[in-house]
Copies of this chain bind each other. A is one copy, B any other.
Amino acid sequence: MNTMTKTATGVRKRRGPRGEYAKSSATREAILDAALEVFASGYNAGSLRDIATRVGMSEAGLLHHFKSKSVLLSAVLELKDDRSRALVDMAAQDAAETLRGLVALARHNASVPGVVELYCTLSAESTAPAHPAHEYFQRRYDWVRESLERTFARLIAEGRLAPGISARRAAIATIAMMDGLQVQWLLDRDVVDMADALQEFLDGLVIGGI
Contact = CB atoms under 8 A, between A and B. Distances in A.
> Chain A contact residues: over half helix, strand or loop, or mixed?
helix
A186 interface: yes
B128 A125 contact: no
A127 B197 contact: no
Contacts of A204: 162, 165, 204-205
A201 B127 CA distance: 24
Given A42-B44, A121-B127, A127-B187, 5 more contacts: A44-B44, A121-B125, A125-B125, A142-B188, A176-B183
A138 interface: yes
Nearest to A124: B124
A169 B192 CA distance: 8
Interface of A: 40-42, 44-45, 117, 120-121, 123-128, 130-131, 137-138, 141-142, 145, 162, 165, 169, 172-173, 175-181, 183-184, 186-188, 191-192, 197, 200-201, 204-205
Nearest to A170: B200
A128 B117 contact: yes
A177 B138 CA distance: 19
